[in-house]
Amino acid sequence: MTLRLVLGDQLTRGLSALQGLGAGDVVLMVEVAEEASYVPHHKQKLALIFSAMRHFAQSLREEGVTVDYVTLDHPDNSGSFGGEVARAVARHKPSELVVTEAAEWRVLQMMQGWQGRFGLPVQIRDDDRFFCSRADFAQLTAAKKTGRMEYFYREMRRRSGLLMQDGAPTGGQWNFDPENRKSLPKGLRPPARLRFVPDATTREVLAMVEQRFSGNFGDLAGFGWAVTRTEALQALQDFIDNALPQFGDYQDAMKAGEDFLFHGLISPYLNCGLLQPREVCAAAEAAFAAGRAPINAVEGFVRQVLGWREYVRGIYWTEMPAYAASNHLGAVRDLPAFYWTGATQMRCMSECIGVTQRTGYAHHIQRLMVTGNFALLAGIEPAQIEAWYLAVYVDAYDWVELPNVHGMVCHADGGRLGSKPYAASGAYIDRMSDYCGGCAYDVKQKLGAGACPFNYLYWNFLIANEPVLARNPRMALAYKNLARLDRAPIVAQAQAFLAGDPMLAQGGLGI
Ligand code: FAD
Ligand code: DLZ
Ligand code: SF4
């Protein structure tokens, strides 16, 4: 018989490891302490993964498949993938072990040692759930000019045929981004979103997580994530019908108390395998074809999934393991404690950390331009802010979190992912949100007690990184503007804030 391992982010019936499943085969699924604790995951992330794993095992059993499922609290659980495969090999004495390549480098390394360790043939099959294979990505982006995301995305449109008509992009242009930067008008209420009431399996997992991981970040109370394929498809349909039409317009908007706006809320399902990238893009394209969503929304959505998601995965696999070790801007500051509590007077930060605590979710601009922007401007050590993002989001896995944080947020890769750092002053946050209105700081004030910290931290960031960034043509305008300013008071206030100086009214990283 063949032993087939299915990991917690491989919950897909068509998974390559399940292809050719024979009557005598055993599917192995294991809840292990090592995975549950390599970062202090948000409680909702743990609950989502364990519940989805248990439901997936149940659906296989209902098909008549033999599933050997080891729960976290099983008395003999060794706590690691390797230990649990070893125990299963001893139990079942398989002639072969079949796995789908792990999505992350750390686990693939482990898998590659299993044939020698267990003394039996181990087949590591490709993960074919992505549009672009690892080999195709490397070949497609080898040339410098075509290595950037926009070129990669256009080529993926051509190859997939998504939003293409007679060889040309549907709607006459590749990219509708300029239309997709509106702030939310007063009075426009985003739709209520479909959330799911926990069933008995989920309630059991919630109790286990609450008991075993009580000290972890995040609330469990509002848990409403889909945990089965059926529910994930319902969540996708809810997005397509109710939010997609305005997804494009308000893609970058932020509003206090509006946790989900018009976003997809599908990344946790794409990343654990309950939904497939092809079907979510096809659903959006069908909405456009039926006249139910405009092109700027549908193209904006397809670009995120077919473009960005595939691109960051490609960067991860072409650059690892060296990628994680770079620190281009030499950032070394410790992560402030308020990232774990939300207790700061910067309202934008407390709102974005607050939604993260409540739901395990924040949308792209909250992650990039608020919590990420602050980490960049304050010079937080990449490894520390990466560990935070990997822990706190229900959709966070190393292969997708790392390029987004290390590359896009920290610019620690020296521009491999994005050609310039996404640094911004308070004016950007003020334009795209309603956070500043209720803040203890004044976004219009550049310096002095009460000035928005994002303002002087922004200029201080440019000053501190001038030797590295000033030659970047995309930073030319920022440095031209800096040339008009008196640097000394900016640096003094930024340093006092970063040191937590109590003389600075409402100031400091310590708060
Ligand atoms: P929507 O806004 O509706 O977008 C649709 C889909 O596009 C998403 O579900 C996602 O699958 C994909 N997508 C969009 N942007 C990206 C991107 N930059 N990289 C990869 N996929 C993208 N996404 C993760 O899935 N896991 C992470 O750990 C993660 N960490 C991030 C960290 C930072 C600092 C930043 C800036 C972004 C990160 N993202 C991550 C990307 C993005 O924020 C989330 O995919 C998105 O917020 C998920 O919510 P949604 O499904 O409502 O997305
Ligand atoms: C994230 C996660 C967690 C918390 N727990 C488990 C687990 O107990 N068992 C499992 O198979 N997978 C888990 N996962 C997902 C894995 O970390 C993921 O499969 C690896 O990161 C490989 O990509
Ligand atoms: Fe954030 Fe500054 Fe606005 Fe306050 S004033 S919410 S700190 S950008």
Q: Is the CB of 386 under 6 A from ligand 2?
A: no
Report yes or no: 490 and 459 within 8 Å, Cβ to Cβ.
yes
Burial class (CB in 10 A: 0-12, 13-18, 19+), 114: buried
Q: Is the CB of 395 under 6 A from ligand 1?
A: yes
- Can you tell me which atom of ligand 2 is nearest the CA of 9? 19
Q: What is the mean pLDDT of residues 329-350?
A: 96
397 has pLDDT over 70 = yes
Query: Among residues of the chain, what percentage have pLDDT more than 90?
Result: 93
* Residue linked to tokens 């729960």: 71
- Can you tell me which atom of ligand 2 is nearest the CA of 7? 11
503 has pLDDT over 60 = no
Report yes or no: 473 and 305 within 8 Å, Cβ to Cβ.
no
Q: Which pLDDT band holds residue 501 (cuts at 50, 70, 90)?
A: low
- Using alpha carbons, list the distances in angstroms from residue 167 to 147, 158, 433: 22, 7, 39
- Can you tell me which atom of ligand 1 is nearest the CA of 260? 52
Q: Is the CB of 366 under 6 A from ligand 1?
A: no
Q: Is the CB of 400 under 6 A from ligand 1?
A: yes
Q: Is the CB of 351 under 6 A from ligand 1?
A: no
Question: Which of 366, 370, 429, 456 best tests ligand 3's pocket when mutated (most atoms within 8 Å of CB)?
Answer: 429
Report yes or no: 305 and 279 within 8 Å, Cβ to Cβ.
no
Query: Among residues of the chain, what percentage have pLDDT more than 70?
Result: 97
Q: Is the CB of 417 under 6 A from ligand 1?
A: no
Give residue 510's pLDDT: 47
281 has pLDDT over 70 = yes
Give residue 144's pLDDT: 66
39 has pLDDT over 80 = yes
- Can you tell me which atom of ligand 3 is nearest the CA of 439? 4
Q: Whose CA is nearest to atom 7 of ligand 2?
A: 31
Phi, psi of 98 (to 5 degrees): -115, 130
- Which ligand is in closest contact with the Cα of 352? 3
Q: Whose CA is nearest to atom 10 of ligand 2?
A: 8
Burial class (CB in 10 A: 0-12, 13-18, 19+), 351: buried
Q: What is the mean pLDDT of residues 184-211?
A: 96
Give residue 505's pLDDT: 40
- Which ligand is in closest contact with the Cα of 451? 3
Closest CA to 173 of 337, 49, 298: 298
Report yes or no: 92 and 1 within 8 Å, Cβ to Cβ.
yes
The amino acid at 28: L
Ligand 3 first shell, C-beta below 6 A? 346-348, 426, 429-430, 435-436, 439, 441, 443, 452-454
Q: Is the CB of 397 under 6 A from ligand 2?
A: yes
Distance (Å) from CA 176 to ligand 1 centroid: 18
Closest CA to 506 of 438, 465, 450: 450
- Can you tell me which atom of ligand 3 is nearest the CA of 455? 2
Q: What is the mean pLDDT of residues 32-61?
A: 98
Give residue 29's pLDDT: 98
User: CB count, 10 Å around CB of 477?
Assistant: 9
Q: How far apart are CA 335 and CA 404, in angstroms?
A: 17
Number of helices (H) and strands (E) in the chain: give both, helices first.
Answer: 25, 7
102-133 pLDDT, tens digit per residue, is: 999 999 999 999 999 999 999 999 999 999 99
Report yes or no: 397 and 103 within 8 Å, Cβ to Cβ.
yes
- Can you tell me which atom of ligand 1 is nearest the CA of 401? 28
- Using alpha carbons, list the distances in angstroms from residue 8 to 55, 152, 316, 412: 11, 29, 20, 29
Give residue 142's pLDDT: 85
131-184 pLDDT, tens digit per residue, is: 999 999 999 888 766 678 999 999 999 999 999 999 999 999 999 988 888 989
Q: What is the mean pLDDT of residues 299-321?
A: 97
Q: What is the mean pLDDT of residues 421-439?
A: 96
Q: How far apart are CA 480 and CA 466, in angstroms?
A: 12
* Global confidence as pTM: 0.97
506 has pLDDT over 80 = no
